[in-house]
Structure 1
């Protein structure tokens, strides 16, 4: 009996201890709901105060998220609107200022490039009597196309002439003022324009124009293999020889003028280069008296100086503007020669000096002095592609010059 009582007593004690250990804490009905108020203030502080107010970028990112966060951001919009107003306005103003500064910088860069181009051309033709740069420093007031600061590459506008020639230049022959330029400082082969320098060197030497010159085998073109009607053995006076060289660009005649120079052809070519330096043609070099050598190179700016100098020789003006000339060949035949410039043959223009040139490397070339609005204008056209390109360019330039105010032509 005692054992049963003791067992029951022990069982009751054990059960009471187990129940006390496993009994849960008192139920609190608001516990799961408390987590929501805890999360909401955190989201409000993070989005509204830290992200939305800190930078406009953070606000933009939050507004794109499709979640409850979007609702919170929307609710706080009135707060961010008042705090962001100053920042947003300042940001727009700073952007506009940045764009304006960039535009100014680009404009300044463009101006510097244009000034550098003008400075480079001025270096080619500066600081000597009758030099182009010294004549064209003063800006032209009325016509933008005639502004000397843009002579190396004048942008084509609705009033500017279109030219096929790669390089071109227009200058007043009397004053040296440059009126128009296109790539005037670009160096290029000049072909038979060379013969103007050939004639000046002959005339400077004061050689007898009546002295007979016989065409020899040494005068035959072995550079370009060009043909000639001037037979070997034909004898002409130096006067007639120069006439054919200038008017019809006769290569054998030009070579014979150099061959019969005191000291021979090599001395003659050296005299050509000395003459070029004396005229300020610092970017010009000659290797032969005919222009068949592609290494005879110059610029439109340099050639304008050469044409201006040649214009002072009455014989050169006479020979280059005559329309035709006859000679008797070695076989006794009469040969009829014509001027190589179609504008001279037409006789419509008042042309006072002319010279054409062509080899493959140089393209179609033409230099002239033509009177426009009662002023002698030097015209240089180099490297025209089309056969009639140089003639078309001359016509376009003349038409353009006739539309300019007279006081803008120097």
Structure 2
């Protein structure tokens, strides 16, 4: 009897011990394992893959065995593993059914390749103190032609601007128009032509220019923060003219042009004729003269041409710039376009303008649905009219089929 009891007791103890051994223990890792996503290697045979993203901003190397090894803070990146973001420079569109074919043929010609190589060798400097001019040479087939077909204001939003135009900068397709052929004063939109004439002349952008009494506005009696006696480089002067629409700066660019102001105005009008702007005329370099007139259709051509100059793109979309005045005071300038200052839009070129006769004006090149769109707004009444018009039209364009945007 005692042997039977002892046998049963031993059996119970053995079963309890076996059951406890089969109960899984909770897994507690030694340290958290970050989930990383590695970019695909350019070569399948590569031994290492550089991990691009990691929450703690530390790179890790994943070996073939799958083990994760932390690296030093400075990781090595092979040239082939880095994918450079391609920058797209919008070409000047032709207003004809063969614009794309002609452009491709021109690019394949030896002359265009030589011009492109020459432009590469002339590096455009972003610094405000020194700049190397890269003179863009117009190729015959790149010359824009007069826009003859202007769409009516169909289902687009109601605008405060009395004239407006939207066009695909790549293809030249007109997407929206309102009184696009109406001739009107253009105010400081003029300064885009001023900048192109200066750059075409190949003048030294490092040359100092001193603001003189001759640069004071005697047409509209407008004020200026740019004191008489202030000396800046031609590059800084053009920066203020494009970004902040500084009138004394724009006037000094014409005054210091070879041959003086008269030769400069003549060059502006020759440039307009070369671009096919038949309904445009210039009388000064600032836009203060109400006789500087054009149409939305003509200005679309001018914006396309200006967009080919990297200096104009850079300076017109800068948000701010500082200078030292003649009295030694630091002056802080900001972009006159609120949309550029906000930074929410992808804007490649910008210029504002205002005089009483012209109303509020605005021209831009902005990306909409990944397409560069030329936007022209003229003669808006309310101070915020041109900005609201731009926002409303952009929202309208984003609701359109992509193929409608050209």
Q: CA deviation at 1:162?
A: 1.2
Structure 2 counterpart SS, 1:304: helix
- Counterpart residue number, 2:197: 201
- Indicate whether 1:151 and 2:150 are aligned: yes
Conserved 8 A contact 2:152-2:176: no
- Counterpart residue number, 1:311: 307
1:132-175 Cα offsets, whole Å, 9 max, x none, are 46689xxxxxxxxxxx99835324x4xx2111100000011111
Conserved 8 A contact 2:240-2:246: yes
- Counterpart residue number, 1:230: 226
Q: CA deviation at 1:333?
A: 0.5
- Separation in structure 1 between the aligned mates of residue 93 and residue 298 of structure 2, nearest angstrom: 12
Conserved 8 A contact 1:311-1:353: yes
1:173-214 Cα offsets, whole Å, 9 max, x none, are 111111110000000000000000000000000100000000
- Separation in structure 2 between the aligned mates of residue 400 and residue 175 of structure 1, nearest angstrom: 20
Listed as ranges, the matches of 1:243-392 within 5 Å are: 243-392=239-388
- Separation in structure 1 between the aligned mates of residue 168 and residue 280 of structure 2, nearest angstrom: 21
- Separation in structure 2 between the aligned mates of residue 289 and residue 162 of structure 1, nearest angstrom: 32
- Separation in structure 2 between the aligned mates of residue 185 and residue 283 of structure 1, nearest angstrom: 9
After superposing on structure 2, the runs of 4+ consecutive aligned residues of structure 1 that deviate more than 6 Å are: none
- Counterpart residue number, 2:104: none
Summarize the Cα distance change of 1:284–1:150 in structure 2 as closer, same or farther, 3 Å threshold: closer
Summarize the Cα distance change of 1:397–1:278 in structure 2 as closer, same or farther, 3 Å threshold: same
Structure 1 counterpart SS, 2:266: helix
| Runs (5+) with no aligned partner, structure 1 | 1-128, 137-147
Summarize the Cα distance change of 1:399–1:208 in structure 2 as closer, same or farther, 3 Å threshold: same
- Separation in structure 2 between the aligned mates of residue 237 and residue 334 of structure 1, nearest angstrom: 16
Structure 2 counterpart SS, 1:181: strand
Summarize the Cα distance change of 1:367–1:135 in structure 2 as closer, same or farther, 3 Å threshold: farther
1:312-346 Cα offsets, whole Å, 9 max, x none, are 00000000100000000000000000000000000
1:40-89 Cα offsets, whole Å, 9 max, x none, are xxxxxxxxxxxxxxxxxxxxxxxxxxxxxxxxxxxxxxxxxxxxxxxxxx
Summarize the Cα distance change of 1:135–1:375 in structure 2 as closer, same or farther, 3 Å threshold: farther
Aligned match of 2:174 in 178, 183, 192?
178
Structure 2 counterpart SS, 1:340: coil
- Indicate whether 1:393 and 2:389 are aligned: yes
Work out the number of aligned pairs and report it.
Answer: 268
Conserved 8 A contact 2:227-2:325: yes
TM-score by length of 2: 0.64
Conserved 8 A contact 2:93-2:169: no
Q: CA deviation at 1:131?
A: 4.6
Conserved 8 A contact 1:322-1:339: yes
1:198-235 Cα offsets, whole Å, 9 max, x none, are 00000000100000000000000000000000000000
- Counterpart residue number, 1:93: none
- Separation in structure 2 between the aligned mates of residue 258 and residue 203 of structure 1, nearest angstrom: 12
1:271-317 Cα offsets, whole Å, 9 max, x none, are 00000000000000000000000000000000000000000000000
